[in-house]
Amino acid sequence: MTTTSNQKSHLGVRMLCEGAIMIALSLVLGLLKVFELPQGGSVSLEMLPLLLFCVRWGMGGGLIACFAFGILQVFIQGAVSWGWQSILLDYVLAFGVIGVAGLGKGKPGGIFWGSILGGAARFIIHYISGITIYKIVAPTEIFGTVFDNPSLYSLVYNGSYVGIDIVLCLVIFGILYATLYGSDLRVSEENRRALDYFTGAGGIFTVATGRAHPTFAPHAASVPINAPVVLSNGACLYDFQADRVVRETFLPRRAARDLQEVARRFPEIGFEAYHQDEIYAYQPNEVTFHHLRRAQAAYTERPILEMPLPWTKAILQQRNPLLRSVQRYILERWAEHYEAIFSNAVLLELTAKGSTKGGMVRCLARLLGIEERNIYCVGDNQNDIPMLAVSAIPFAPSNCAQEVRDWGARILSSCDESCVAQIVAILDKRY
């Protein structure tokens, strides 16, 4: 069996395991009802794990898992029904079609509109059941109103609890996104004015970012950059004015083999590799989807050993505690080959040994004839520490990672409070 076949087999096993876990969670959550209506309708969070699975693995796996849940629900939770037709519609089919949420896989906002799509599909099946089977209970009173029309009754009855289920799921997904990633930051007008003043007075301003060329290029004109930009955590120096690479380093070719070993050891991780202007992904997860959506970047999903080489950088993605274990695993084995550093709590970035923001900032300063005593940097996360180390005054916003604060950076106002403008004011007094 080839390595690629092994990878695909591993993915299949992983999908089955995750599916079983999510079905079990949904069955448990289905027992914890917020409230229950006559004829079996109820509000709970039982759709939540199913929706996560569907958007993670796509519609094929999602449909299988959801149909399995619908069948198991009848035996484990019991069924309120008017015969086998009712069981088929309200349990097997109604929950099975939630699998269409898998159409949101890899799409911007996929978890949100996929959830709406899956919930809407479930409602449609319940509605059909209401106008074909449950019409025999008309006239029926619900919410203090007597309904003689089966269509209206089915609309109100099924829409009430399914609609609440969908809203609850969307609210929880929104909270999870806010907790993991924070707000989308933009360049404030105060920062923009300060940078215009700084560059107009002869200052040299540029950006050092973890983003690669294709993901930073749309933002290159958003601020008055007048020097080459440090990209990919120091793996690339790019002159956007001349549209050319000034300097670039690459991960060693062994990186594909090493990271495949990491993926086997930590199967929960998502993975991105950057080759020229192309982005390749392996077993993308919600962190991956959010990261690429935020960057407005297209990607190709492919087994690790089928991704073209060389790579400028790679990104491993998952919850922070797991990624810290991954970081230790990589550095304990291959520290002589890689820099493995966090760009935020859920992104662990790999570049070639020695390729850091600090190293490339020094390189840029030499190219521009700038003495190190005149270099000033601001950063907010672990990947910025090598850059802060070369700064005459290492600045950091108040919302920086704890590692930056502990390292000893000078703390200023937050990113939302025009931290860059504060730095320009400090330098204005200093010079």
Query: Which CATH number fits the domain that encloses residue 322?
Result: 3.30.1240.10
> Does one domain contain both 404 and 314?
no
Query: Which CATH number fits the domain that encloses residue 112?
Result: 1.10.1760.20
- Rounded percentage of the chain residues whose pLDDT exceeds 90: 47
Per-residue pLDDT for 10 more than 60?
no
Q: Is pLDDT larger for residue 286 or for residue 389?
A: 389
pLDDT score for 384: 94
- Rounded percentage of the chain residues whose pLDDT exceeds 70: 87
Residue 118: alpha-carbon gap to chain centroid: 20
What pLDDT band is residue 289 in, cutting at 50, 70 and 90?
Answer: confident
pLDDT tens-digit map of 190-228? 888 999 999 999 999 999 998 898 888 878 887 889 999
Per-residue pLDDT for 107 more than 80?
no
DSSP SS3 for 27: helix
pLDDT score for 181: 39
Instruction: Give the range of the structural domain holding residue 323, as residue numbers without chain letter.
Output: 255-352
Which string of DSSP letters, residue by residue, matches 167-192? Answer: HHHHHHHHHHHHHHH-PPP---HHHH
Q: Which two tokens stand for residue 259?
A: 């990271």
> Does one domain contain both 244 and 259?
no
- Of 208, 307, 311, the closest CA to residue 250 belongs to 311
Return the bridge partners of 245, or none. 238
Mean pLDDT of the chain: 85
Per-residue pLDDT for 416 more than 90?
no
What pLDDT band is residue 79 in, cutting at 50, 70 and 90?
Answer: low
pLDDT score for 318: 92
Q: Is pLDDT larger for residue 151 or for residue 337?
A: 337
- Cα dihedral 327, 329, 330, 333 sign: positive
pLDDT score for 393: 95
> Does one domain contain both 170 and 280?
no
- Contact call for residues 387 and 379 (beta carbons, < 8 A): yes
What pLDDT band is residue 19 in, cutting at 50, 70 and 90?
Answer: confident
Per-residue pLDDT for 6 more than 60?
no
pLDDT score for 183: 46
> Does one domain contain both 45 and 138?
yes
> Does one domain contain both 200 and 85?
no
pLDDT score for 222: 79
> Does one domain contain both 269 and 305?
yes
Residue after which a domain boundary falls, among 333, 352, 371: 352
> Does one domain contain both 40 and 150?
yes
Residue after which a domain boundary falls, among 146, 161, 181: 181
What pLDDT band is residue 2 in, cutting at 50, 70 and 90?
Answer: very low
Q: Is pLDDT larger for residue 74 or for residue 38?
A: 74
Q: Which two tokens stand for residue 202?
A: 């002869």
What pLDDT band is residue 154 in, cutting at 50, 70 and 90?
Answer: confident
pLDDT score for 126: 86
Per-residue pLDDT for 185 more than 80?
no
Q: Report how many domains make up the chain.
A: 3
pLDDT score for 361: 96
What is the pTM for the complete model shown?
0.59
- Contact call for residues 377 and 371 (beta carbons, < 8 A): no
> Does one domain contain both 316 and 413?
no
pLDDT score for 273: 95
For 208-239, b where at least 16 C-beta lie within 10 A, e where not — what string? bbbbbbbbbbebeeebebebbbbbbbbbbbbe
- In this structure, what DSSP letter does residue 104 have? G
Cα–Cα distance for residue pair 154/90, rounded to 1 Å? 12
pLDDT tens-digit map of 293-348? 777 788 889 999 999 999 999 999 998 899 999 999 999 999 999 999 998 889 99
Query: Which CATH number fits the domain that encloses residue 426?
Result: 3.40.50.1000
Residue after which a domain boundary falls, among 181, 204, 220: 181
> Does one domain contain both 266 and 380?
no
pLDDT score for 140: 67
pLDDT tens-digit map of 363-412? 999 999 999 999 999 999 999 999 999 999 999 999 888 999 999 999 99
Q: Which two tokens stand for residue 215?
A: 């993901």
4-8, 46-50, 322-326, 427-431, range with the lowest pLDDT: 4-8
pLDDT average, residue stretch 169-174: 85
Q: Which two tokens stand for residue 393?
A: 């005054």
pLDDT score for 145: 67
pLDDT score for 135: 60
- Cα dihedral 222, 392, 228, 215 sign: negative
> In 3-state terms, the chain is what percent helix, strand and coil (to 5)?
55, 15, 30
> Does one domain contain both 243 and 225?
yes
- Contact call for residues 66 and 114 (beta carbons, < 8 A): no
The count of other CB atoms within 10 Å of the CB of residue 144 is 5
> Does one domain contain both 291 and 311?
yes
> Does one domain contain both 81 and 103?
yes
Q: Is pLDDT larger for residue 6 or for residue 97?
A: 97
pLDDT score for 137: 56
Alpha helices in 201-319 (DSSP H): 213-216, 255-265, 286-295
Q: In what order do the strands lie in the sheet with 394-396?
A: 377-378, 394-396, 410-411
